[in-house]
Structure 1
């Protein structure tokens, strides 16, 4: 079974959230993701665009869990994701207390109970959930929670991209690449500014894809200053779709 491709919010951050579904449709993606900065103002436009294009909503970004209790902003974003029918609420943790992270993830999961939306934890070396194992441990403690795997973050953490995955814990994956074999001094900058289209870098993506659960969606996330300078959002999305399809097969 082939993987459905989703246009990640990070690939077209210069678009308003309400414009992302139309861009995804024009570029051939059946799914998309959106990053909401002001859910109360943005949800209606996203909902209308999803309805008019028929594009499905894979994920809403991004809950950033900090130390202390869940915030009102976190709850509002969770409610927006559920209202829009997103499959996943992309969540990262900056809380060094793992028990505190588990408690907040459990609260998010309770808020989302009965909706189509599940919490998806993304591990990154520059967050408190640094590795895939960290994220899987938290996800395993909260029923229904899953992990989002990004091959760039796994590669930088030294996690083999072909390591077996648990279909019960891995909800979806990102598809991306990097031109740098050696880790840069600023991993966050690389992730947010220096990615390259899938298949044009050094990541063993065929190995990564072969280890994923069958048929899970792939979010094509290429945050690239170089591409953003040279291509408008639709042209960029089309180029990334072509690169992703060449690696993963047609969506």
Structure 2
């Protein structure tokens, strides 16, 4: 049975990914900063008929939490097949480039960028033990420099001094990571789930968590010939699924 870890998975898109992977027969670790909260979610899922889901405490901003989760999964599974770096924060808004405090920008980067790197590096040896390891980094269209430079883009006026740059950095790291793992059976991609209605944006998004999770899983549970080092985006208006960097 393949195993997967999804960080920040006790609600919204992360939770829906857990549900859908469980239905596909994977053993899923529901990552949560607050273990009791995560366990409560898993208890509810079990009552709903979901199987092979376990809550695991992981705070991506704390190395001791990350390595504790890694050690627990190693003891129970011996390896990890799928890592979905989903944990992220928006930060205080609005985020004007001239008055957003540096400490606020650092806080967003600590979770969205450095946290993702810390988790990836901690779990890489477990992932190498898989026959078909997958790393998915959840990104955003707001991390596309090309889109942000196009005045005709529908979200052109939604500029953020913290969140968007943190996702642009995530995208850049994804390219390097995919390159460094190119000789191994890894598939490493950045995936934008689209503007989804979640707690993250006070449910102002236009897409559903079901659609977002389905799209993420589509580009995560891939075969050996699938692309790596790509940036996929849901709900693109041009009919494609590959987003400009």
TM-score bracket, normalised by the shorter chain, equals 0.3 to 0.5
TM-score, scaled to structure 2? 0.40
TM-score by length of 1: 0.40
The structure with higher relative contact order (CA 8 Å, sep 6+) is: 1
